[in-house]
Structure 1
Amino acid sequence: MLQNLRDKTSGWIAGAILGLLTIPFAFFGMDQYLFQRNDTFAAKIEAPPNWWPSAPAVWPVTMLWQRDEIKADEFRAAFERARQDQRQQQGEQFDPRAFESVDNKRKVLDTIVDQRVLAMAADRDGIAVGDDLVRKTIQGIPAFQVDGRFDPQRYQLALASQNPPRSPSQFQEEVRKGLQQSLIPNAVVQTAFVTPAELQRVLKLLGERRDVSFAIIPPPAPDAAPITAAEIQKWYDAHRDDYRAPETVSLDYIDVDQSALPAPAVADDATLRQRYDDEKARFVEPEQRLASHILIKVDANATPAQQQAAQAKAAALAQQARQPGADFAALARANSDDAGSKVSGGDLGWVAKGVMVKPFEDALFSMQAGQVSDPVKSEFGWHVIDLREVKPGTQKPFEQVRDQLAREQADNDREHGFNDLIGRMVDEVNRNPTTLAPAARLAKVEVRHAGPIARGQGNGLLANPAVQRVAFSESMIEDGTVSDPIDVGNGHSLLIRVSGHSQAHQLPLADVSSRVVAAIRADRAAKAADAEADRILAAVKAGTPLKDAAAARQLVASDVPALPRGAPMPDAQAVRAFFEAAPPAPGKVSPGKVALGDGREVVFAVSRIIPGNPDEASAEQKLSLQQQMVQAIGEDDVLGLVDSLRARVKVTVAEDRL
């Protein structure tokens, strides 16, 4: 039987059938078998290769596509930052439940996607940022300046003091990446312009005034009519989303504050001297060189003849600069192509290693003071360097830095003590994973209780995004165990345990009936005011002057001639409605109504429009308005560009990871 089976599955017919069967596997899922992995992205961006923009989205062609992923952790961090920004902006008005909406999550994610799409477009189109722009950007950062000038020592110390420390080359690459991402949108913004006719039209609109009459309908008397059970049920059913309780947790927690720990013993001189010997390199002021230069710029696509001509010119200038009595600054002002230093005679100030491009730096630090270099080739062209002075690196003595070492040693000892305490507390938790009491006794702190706390709420340290992520994690809720230490910054670590949990749920009508009744009464009052406004508005539309229509209902109409935009009369919201009304026909009025936030209604009639006079605006006002318009138009153009770029890529969103 086995031989018969073998015979029937051999030969060209069986091979052809097997080949046909492999085709769907190749295009529909074979990559799932060949490339097993656990995806962790919140969104994945895929773009066809630049040389094949119409490449189909099928395997194996998709292996040629450019890809980028936004990790779920990255999205959550961005979402928490957005949450904190909203909380600060809105204060007590902040609604954490509303902020958790799918729309808000997608807005945050879309912002990150837009940034990545622009970066991918820059990479795909070969947009690069030169060293000169990176250098100028870094030198323009105020944190690296002293008295308005870039200071190499401050630059290096600032990078070394960051957490984690960064080398100049690492920081330069970060700046380069940020500049590359912003080059396209910045270039698009710079192409925007406003014509004189457009500026005149906007000035007329901004300066426009309107003759307006309006009557204010006060809020109606509080509704006291009976409300039936059927009405309550109907309102509740129609507005169920307004009566939901958010997901909450109750927490037990302990807070370990590093600053509250006993002060460490003061370090003796032997310890400090050992620290000084181990870290001597930190206390060396780097060698600096006072330099000037002349740049003969050469384009990247220059011909060999142009390159030779530039080199020859640089060599001639170097020869002139070496002549007795030669004025290097005058030669630089007359010949240099470096706009940044030309005016100051080529002066570059004090230069330390890690600031200039490598060919320039290598030449500068191989020279002697008072020497003028031969032409030095860099990506910008040919440089002639004048080394005016050398400030050698110096070692600071122990006595000069002793106080700094003592402070650092005390901070280290305190941090080591804190870390040791946290480690011993973790050991206690491992022995007693469902209670905080032993760890609290060890740290000599009390176990505190908080809750119920809704997601995104909480006070103080409990509002920290890291605490929130742990508190609402599935494992913490299900296990009821103590968390790992949560670093919340400023020398604080929290250990928490979820002692209670409630899923988001619909509140029963019995629990919110008073809120439903209040909502019904508010809705009745708003409809009553709106109906009264409609009656007055109908009379005005029928030809009755607003003054008479208002008087018929014991209301007073006010006439405001030449009302300007932005005037708070009677309310900013009402004024916006006045200026949104259509222009009135000759001999007619343009009526309308608007509901104010305090329950009042305003019925109005616009009788005349007075265009603004552009000549009344000063030159400064016109220039400021033009700049604002150009910026707004440029930003709209960038949004259009991003939309166009996104239309060319495939974005896959993992909704379950948002």
Structure 2
Amino acid sequence: MFDTIRHHKKYLMGFLMILIIPSFVLFGIEGYSRFNEGGDAVATVDGHKIKKVEWDQAHQQESQRLRQAMPQLDAKLLDSDEARYATLERLVRQRVLAAAAADLHLYTSDTRLARDLQQNEAIASLRKADGSLDVEVYRQLLARQGLTPEGFEASVRADLSQRQVIQGLLASGFATGELANVSLNAFFERREARVALFNSGDFASRVNPSDAEIEAYYNANTAQFQAPEQVDVEYLVLDAAALEKTIALNEADVRAYYEQNAARLAGEEERRASHILLNVAPSASAADKAAVRQKADALLAELRKDPKRFAALAKANSQDPGSAERGGDLDFFGRGAMVKPFEDAVYSLKKGQISDVVESDFGFHIIQLTDIKSPPKRSFDEVRAQLEADLKKQQAQRQFAEAADVFSNTVYEQADSLQAAADRLKLKVQTAQGLQRQGLAGTVLANERLLAAIFSPESVSSKRNTEAVETGASQLTAARVVKHSPAHTLALADVRETVRAKLIAQRATELAKAEGEKQLQAGKSGGEVAGLGPALTLSRATPQNQLAGVLNAALSADPKQLPAWIGVNLPDRGYAVVKVEKVLPAEARPAAQVAREVQQYNQWWASAEGQAYYELLKARHKAVIKVAKPVAPAAGEVR
């Protein structure tokens, strides 16, 4: 909501990795039992260990999911220590929430589970022409992930139960407008400051290293001049998306599918109803409930005699404040909008009919169906493109399921070449040269599991096919190393210019820092500071093109000790001297913008309350991470 967030991406990245990336993986870990063999414990929850092998697999699955969702994502981000630690934190969070859900007796009903599975796109794509689930393909799809339908559904049920632990708190958290405005005004507070920037590039001409100095730098920093390990590979991809493009449909099949799905394609029928509600508290005694039921039966008897009095009796008797004044009218709604007993009754009535007394969690209802809105049937030509796309996807999924076993078995049984599998399934063997461990972004060769298989000692030494690895949704890949080049230090003669450039950059940065510190002392002593620019009004909303370290230094200065002189070390850039002269209040903003900011602040507040509650749960369930948290590099060292 705030434009300034764009200028603070580096600081927010770790926060986003934890809060935004979903913890639930579609084809996740079936259970914890398979990880009980060996491995060091990297964390514990309630005394139960999370072992390194489990952490590795969880990170591998999360990385694979993210690469599929964002093919252009830099693989280095996922391979970093920070990303791996974030995976471990999510794994611990999952265990803590599971323990809390068990303590609170939170449970996901079969109805809630079924609704979630119906909304799953991967499962929806497995439906046959008549709308029923292709159970065999469903089982095969899960089996390739090492799962059974029962295990997968249990993991989904557990995930839904765990979400309930904190969701209620997040939905109810809010902060008062006064508190929000105090924080927001501080956030948008401005500083008037002057900046002197000493760029390392301006000092480069003063550095002229000798051959001996270049050689000494090279010898002391050989790790910077490594040729990375590389392989040339052949690889073969079996992809449902590619199969889909080869499918030719029969006209009769498309028309049959249209007739079977005409109602679904038209959209959902909506119904309009009115009701009279007599509330009953869940904790009411049997006698109290019977008394309310008796009153409902009496009202129903009156309505049976004169249905035209429904609106009048609803106004006089209904305890639903939202509809009573409208004669009980609930307007149009579709399936899933009402509690099940109410919905079942509405969809069993004909227009104008009045139901028997219906009991729900809210009490007793008397319902009248007042209107039915059926969507118009769409013509075959209107929906033909959608029908063909659905049918092709379904057939491609079936073909993929049938070919997957052939693919996996052939690359394993004839491991000296991928050509046999390619010939059998009419696929093309592809090649890549100079592949490194970070992979090739935007391709299957960015998949972490596939890269691990390619660079495994066995694949490198034997030049045999890897196993078939799932590199995407309905996508299998196998590869074979053709040539391997181990990592090695490049000769000085080959990298002399690079070494010289690095040495010059290092020395120039040191000179820039020395000059900046000299000018900082001059400023603190009341002298002139060379290069001090004009006064700028800085804020998080208007950074005036200043570097993040400079902006943070200016906004962090103690307002009680002005003017303030601050030195900022800018790694690889040089040094900055900042003189903060005034503190200015936040600029006036339109009322609509302030309202949006307060709304955003409330979301932050709710997230903070949720995090605080989670920290309480961590302590309650004795959650301990035994791995040191990586230290992120500082954006700018302030003095």
Q: TM-score, normalised by structure 1?
A: 0.67
Q: Report 1:116-135 matches (<5 A).
A: 116-127=95-106
Equivalent residue letter for 1:499: V
Q: Specify the alignment match of 2:84 in structure 1.
A: 105
Note closer, same or farther for the CA distance 1:131–1:620 as it changes in structure 2 (3 Å cut).
farther
Instruction: Identify which of 603, 612, 621 aligns with 1:631.
Output: 603
* CA shift for structure 1 position 301: 1.4
Contact 1:214 1:603 in 2 (8 A): yes
Q: Specify the alignment match of 1:559 in structure 2.
A: 534
Q: Specify the alignment match of 1:532 in structure 2.
A: 515
* CA shift for structure 1 position 529: 0.8
Q: Specify the alignment match of 1:646 in structure 2.
A: 618
Instruction: Identify which of 179, 194, 197 aligns with 1:213.
Output: 194
Moved more, 334-343 or 291-300: 334-343
Contact 1:220 1:528 in 2 (8 A): yes
Equivalent residue letter for 2:529: A
* CA shift for structure 1 position 106: 1.7
Contact 1:264 1:410 in 2 (8 A): yes
Paired residue secondary structure (1:221): helix
Paired residue secondary structure (2:101): helix
Contact 2:180 2:601 in 1 (8 A): no
Equivalent residue letter for 1:604: V
Q: Specify the alignment match of 2:354 in structure 1.
A: 372
* CA shift for structure 1 position 526: 0.7
Equivalent residue letter for 1:581: A
* CA shift for structure 1 position 411: 6.4
Work out whether 1:458 is the aligned partner of 2:424.
Answer: no
Residues 95-119 of structure 1 show CA distances to partners (whole Å, capped at 9, x for unaligned) of 62x6423342121221232144224
Equivalent residue letter for 2:435: I
Moved more, 568-577 or 375-384: 568-577
Instruction: Identify which of 459, 474, 498 aligns with 2:481.
Output: 498
Contact 2:189 2:583 in 1 (8 A): no
For 1:383 and 1:521, locate their aligned partners in 2 and report how far apart those are by CA, in whole Å.
82
Contact 1:129 1:180 in 2 (8 A): no
* CA shift for structure 1 position 78: 1.2
Work out whether 1:604 is the aligned partner of 2:587.
Answer: no
* CA shift for structure 1 position 450: 0.9
For 1:436 and 1:84, locate their aligned partners in 2 and report how far apart those are by CA, in whole Å.
24
Note closer, same or farther for the CA distance 1:171–1:226 as it changes in structure 2 (3 Å cut).
closer
Moved more, 409-418 or 530-539: 409-418
Contact 2:416 2:464 in 1 (8 A): yes
Aligned residues: 563
For 1:372 and 1:172, locate their aligned partners in 2 and report how far apart those are by CA, in whole Å.
40
* CA shift for structure 1 position 191: 3.7
Paired residue secondary structure (2:290): helix
- Aligned-residue Cα RMSD (Å) equals 5.4
Residues 601-648 of structure 1 show CA distances to partners (whole Å, capped at 9, x for unaligned) of 4323223333447xx455444433333333323322322322222233
Residues 536-569 of structure 1 show CA distances to partners (whole Å, capped at 9, x for unaligned) of 111111111xxx332xxxx4x3332655554344
Choose 1 or 2 for highest CA Rg.
1
For 1:639 and 1:248, locate their aligned partners in 2 and report how far apart those are by CA, in whole Å.
43
Note closer, same or farther for the CA distance 1:120–1:471 as it changes in structure 2 (3 Å cut).
same
Q: Specify the alignment match of 2:454 in structure 1.
A: 471
* CA shift for structure 1 position 525: 0.5
Residues 210-233 of structure 1 show CA distances to partners (whole Å, capped at 9, x for unaligned) of 2x3333435213354224646754
Instruction: Identify which of 208, 225, 249 aligns with 1:225.
Output: 208
Work out whether 1:580 is the aligned partner of 2:550.
Answer: no
Paired residue secondary structure (2:534): strand
For 1:250 and 1:415, locate their aligned partners in 2 and report how far apart those are by CA, in whole Å.
31
For 1:391 and 1:100, locate their aligned partners in 2 and report how far apart those are by CA, in whole Å.
54
Q: Specify the alignment match of 1:184 in structure 2.
A: 166
Percent of paired sites with the same residue: 26
Residues 36-75 of structure 1 show CA distances to partners (whole Å, capped at 9, x for unaligned) of 9954999898755xxxxxxxx5xxxx8xx999x9686444
Instruction: Identify which of 511, 520, 529 aligns with 1:549.
Output: 529
Structure 1 stretches lacking a partner, 5+ long: 1-34, 49-56, 144-155
* CA shift for structure 1 position 493: 5.1
Q: Specify the alignment match of 1:79 in structure 2.
A: 63
Note closer, same or farther for the CA distance 1:512–1:361 as it changes in structure 2 (3 Å cut).
same
Q: Report 1:257-336 matches (<5 A).
A: 259=242, 267=250, 291-324=273-306, 326-329=308-311, 331-332=313-314, 335-336=317-318
Paired residue secondary structure (1:126): coil
For 2:382 and 2:520, locate their aligned partners in 1 and report how far apart those are by CA, in whole Å.
83
Equivalent residue letter for 2:310: F
Contact 1:425 1:439 in 2 (8 A): yes
Paired residue secondary structure (1:549): coil
Note closer, same or farther for the CA distance 1:387–1:110 as it changes in structure 2 (3 Å cut).
same
For 1:440 and 1:447, locate their aligned partners in 2 and report how far apart those are by CA, in whole Å.
7
Equivalent residue letter for 1:454: Q
Q: Report 1:375-394 matches (<5 A).
A: 375-388=357-370
Contact 1:584 1:590 in 2 (8 A): no
* CA shift for structure 1 position 280: 8.6
Q: Report 1:165-180 matches (<5 A).
A: 178=160
* CA shift for structure 1 position 589: 2.7
For 1:298 and 1:101, locate their aligned partners in 2 and report how far apart those are by CA, in whole Å.
56
Note closer, same or farther for the CA distance 1:160–1:324 as it changes in structure 2 (3 Å cut).
farther
* CA shift for structure 1 position 435: 1.5
Contact 2:276 2:319 in 1 (8 A): yes
Equivalent residue letter for 1:579: L
Q: TM-score, normalised by structure 2?
A: 0.68
For 2:247 and 2:66, locate their aligned partners in 1 and report how far apart those are by CA, in whole Å.
39
Contact 2:42 2:50 in 1 (8 A): no
Instruction: Identify which of 104, 114, 118 aligns with 2:93.
Output: 114
* CA shift for structure 1 position 172: 14
For 2:535 and 2:295, locate their aligned partners in 1 and report how far apart those are by CA, in whole Å.
74
Note closer, same or farther for the CA distance 1:72–1:543 as it changes in structure 2 (3 Å cut).
closer
Contact 1:42 1:75 in 2 (8 A): no
